[in-house]
Amino acid sequence: MSEVESGATPQVGVIMGSRSDWETMSAAAAELDRFGVAHECRVVSAHRTPAWLTEYAESAEKRGLRVIIAGAGGAAHLPGMVASQTLLPVLGVPVQSRTLNGLDSLLSIVQMPGGIPVGTLAIGKAGARNAALLAIRILALQDSQLAAKLQAFVTEQTASVLNEGLAGVEPPLPPTAIDSAEGGKR
């Protein structure tokens, strides 16, 4: 549900260093869509468009953004540069690179100097998805409807794991069933 689709003011900015990062960062957008969180997606290069980066970061809060998810590969300066120019939470997603499989990106994003916090997630699509879920958790602190959707997601995810048995093996019991089976003794 980008701002174009919903007409709502975006709460989350999903930015990336180049168009090629969209393959990874689309996982963040998809998760935000699933929860109905209005967001915007932009290419903002720390190296090729530094003035645009500054304008984006400095105007983000005034435009209604509450969290920024920044994905970058290689030198991966985008998350740190954005964090240095806004008070909004910045979540960094290392994009997998051909050279070092994203380890270079991870180390670049996670090694911020003191005073420039960037919440760094895992490399690749899992990191992008988790960045969106973390942004949703941040927003849910002030939004009870979003918190209810998040709780339903967690409950569904838990049930899925508990009901997912192995062939020929009993599925695991939930903690309350274990307590009952043991006569309430733990």
Q: Does some domain include residue 186?
A: no
180 phi, psi to nearest 5 deg: -65, -40
User: Which residue carries 């997606």 as its tokens?
Assistant: 41
Question: Is 97 in the same domain as 149?
Answer: no
pLDDT value at 142 more than 50: yes
Q: 150-184: per-residue pLDDT in tens?
A: 999 999 999 888 887 666 676 666 666 545 544 55
Q: 109-137: per-residue pLDDT in tens?
A: 999 999 999 999 999 999 999 999 999 99
105 phi, psi to nearest 5 deg: -65, -45
Question: Is 103 in the same domain as 153?
Answer: no
- How far is Cα 109 from Cα 78, in angstroms, rounded to an integer? 8
Q: Does some domain include residue 65?
A: yes
- Structural domains of the chain, count: 2
- How far is Cα 168 from Cα 136, in angstroms, rounded to an integer? 38
Eight-class DSSP state of 117? -
Question: Is 177 in the same domain as 116?
Answer: no
What's the CATH number where 104 sits? 3.40.50.1970
Q: Residue 5 — very low, low, confident or very high, per pLDDT cuts 50/70/90?
A: low
Question: Is 77 in the same domain as 163?
Answer: no
Question: Is 118 in the same domain as 176?
Answer: no
Which domain range does residue 112 map to? 3-140
Q: Residue 186 — very low, low, confident or very high, per pLDDT cuts 50/70/90?
A: very low
- Helix H or strand E encompassing 94: strand 90-94
Question: Is 149 in the same domain as 86?
Answer: no
pTM given for the model: 0.87
- Decide which of 86 and 2 is more confident: 86
Question: Is 132 in the same domain as 61?
Answer: yes
Name every residue whose Cβ is closer than 8 Å to that of residue 34 and which is 6 or more positions away in sequence.
Answer: none
